[in-house]
Amino acid sequence: MKKFLIPVAIIFIILTILMGAVSATMNVIVITDPTGQDPNGAAGGSLSFANNMFQSTFLMSKEKQFVVLSGGEGNADVRLQAIVDSISKLENGATASIGAAVAGSYGGIRLLVGGPTIGAAVGGSFDAYMVIVDDDGTIKVTPYSGGLAILPPGKKGAIIHLRNTAGNPQYGTATAVRRETAINIGRMIRDGYSATYIVGKVFEEVSKDSGEKYGGGAVNIVSGISTGDMFTPPDMNATGYPMDSPYVKSCPNDDCWSIGYPSAENYESCPNDGNPLKTIYAYESLTNTITVSQDSVSVSVYGSEEPGLAETTGEIVKASVNKYGYDSNTIADSINRRINNGLLVGVNYVEPKDINVRKESKAVGVYYTMLSGGRTSPPWNLPVNSFVLDIVGSIQTVIGVILVLLVLFRSRLLRSFQKK
């Protein structure tokens, strides 16, 4: 635990020094299976109109199956203290209510805490709705403002917090959107939708209707899958990706080709079969990323931030795994073929050692090396010995010299033949 908390503390201290205040204005946790058996039965996430969403998105424990979402008006160092306090309690077996209650001891901040078996709770400064869905389908939606609100362990339900950020053109919509979204969450839980699907729909509704639309991100608490930095801002003091905007285009009949925005704006048809490309919005990509299916694979890409590279690599790896299994050699071959045909650009060929395979958690990590000098593709990997190429080059040089001599002495040679 200490090994985890120390780097977190260092990161937060650095962020406190380098950037201004930040507030995640939407936090949500949904629990559809309080037994923890459904791999998609508990999920959560955060987004906002504010900057620097990487500071307020989520801290997750894959082993203990809980998530801590932060927000509020308190500064970063106060929030850090509350988060560390909360995590310490949760790591020692505390329920969500105990983990969230610590927020009351720190001014102006909010903690939304939850997991499949520990329930969910929000503490500190908040305006939230509690959703509880009974086994008979009865939906209870209750507003709470400040203090502590608890979704007890063993209950299906959700907690959603939502406020508007100053400067948001849709300022003043949060109260109505918070209530309507909570009601829709209850209906989806009653109708049997998974928590990961519901969180994706929450991101869609909140981003469109309240203007609190920048990622942020989400996490599958049971399976330990997150969106990582898919939607968080690449630079400090900037907004994240707008969750109600197109995120990627892909071939409708070919899972191995896709391209992310803004590069996707230059493509209308699939290069493989000519069919119109399918547009996938950010909230849809979020749902796809954190939802576990029979053939789902979690793919992480390192070493390059080329637009669309992570999405295209993910599709290539998934297709390779589904066809050949979790084999680093076949995955590397699949990626290198796509580099050769130009679907992946700006990166060098990968080797099996660059592929980190974790079959037990259905996860694959791909480590790229960027090409230098602005190159878009690596040198050809021809199956010809360099010595042979040198000989061929020498032969070509000799032929070239002969051709030059023929041109220079053409008239003299013709006269020589004519005399004979």
What is the DSSP annotation of 15-61? Answer: HHHHS------EEEEEES-TTS-STTSEEEEEEESSS-GGGTS-EEE
Cα 79 versus chain centre, distance: 24
Q: What is the pLDDT of residue 20?
A: 42
Question: pLDDT tens digit string along 237-246?
Answer: 889 999 999 9
C-alpha distances out from residue 146 to 7, 128, 153, Å: 30, 8, 21
Tell me the mean pLDDT in the region 10-27: 54
State the Cα–Cα distance between residues 289 and 305, nearest whole angstrom. Answer: 18
Q: What is the pLDDT of residue 158?
A: 98
Q: Within a 13 Å sphere around the CA of 257, how many CA atoms are in the beta-carbon half?
A: 23
* Across 325-334, 344-353, 391-400, least confident range: 391-400
The residues spanned by each domain of the chain are 2-226, 246-367, 386-419
The DSSP bridge pattern shows strands 363-367 and 66-72 to be unpaired
Question: pLDDT tens digit string along 389-412?
Answer: 455 555 555 555 555 545 555 555
Q: What is the pLDDT of residue 28?
A: 98
214, 177, 205: which is closest to 52 by C-alpha? 214
Tell me the mean pLDDT in the region 205-209: 98
Question: pLDDT tens digit string along 57-75?
Answer: 678 888 899 999 988 876 7
The DSSP bridge pattern shows strands 225-226 and 119-133 to be unpaired
Q: Quickly count: other Cβ atoms within 10 Å of residue 309's Cβ.
A: 21
State the Cα–Cα distance between residues 32 and 328, nearest whole angstrom. Answer: 35
pTM for the whole thing?
A: 0.73
Report whether 222 contacts 38 (CB < 8 A): yes
Task: Enter the CATH code of domain 2-226.
Answer: 3.60.20
Tell me the mean pLDDT in the region 325-340: 92
Instruction: Mark 275-295 as b/e (b = at least 16 C-beta within 10 Å).
Output: eebeebbbbbbbbbbbbbeee
State the Cα–Cα distance between residues 281 and 301, nearest whole angstrom. Answer: 20
- CA-atom Rg of the chain in angstroms: 28
**Which residue matches tokens 């729909």?**
201
Q: What is the pLDDT of residue 87?
A: 93
